[in-house]
Structure 1
Amino acid sequence: MRNAPEIVDGRTIRGLVEARALRGATILGQPGGWAVLVRYGDTERAVAAQRARKARLWRNLNTAASYVSEELGLSRFEVDSTDHQPDAIERKRPDSAERLRKQHEAAAYDAWFRAMAQEGIEAADRSDFVPEDEVARRFARMLGS
Structure 2
Amino acid sequence: MPVFADQESNMMDVQNEGWGRVMLWKELEENVFREKILEVLNNKKMVEIVKHKSVLMKDTLVPPEEEAVYWVEYVMRHNGAPHIRSPVFMMKWYEIYNIDVWAFIIFVIVGTLFVSYLVIKFFLRKCFGIGKSKNNKRKKE
Structure having the larger proportion of residues in strand: 1
Structure having the larger proportion of residues in helix: 2
Superposition TM-score, scaled by structure 2 size = 0.29
Question: Larger relative CO (CA 8 A, sep 6+): 1 or 2?
Answer: 1
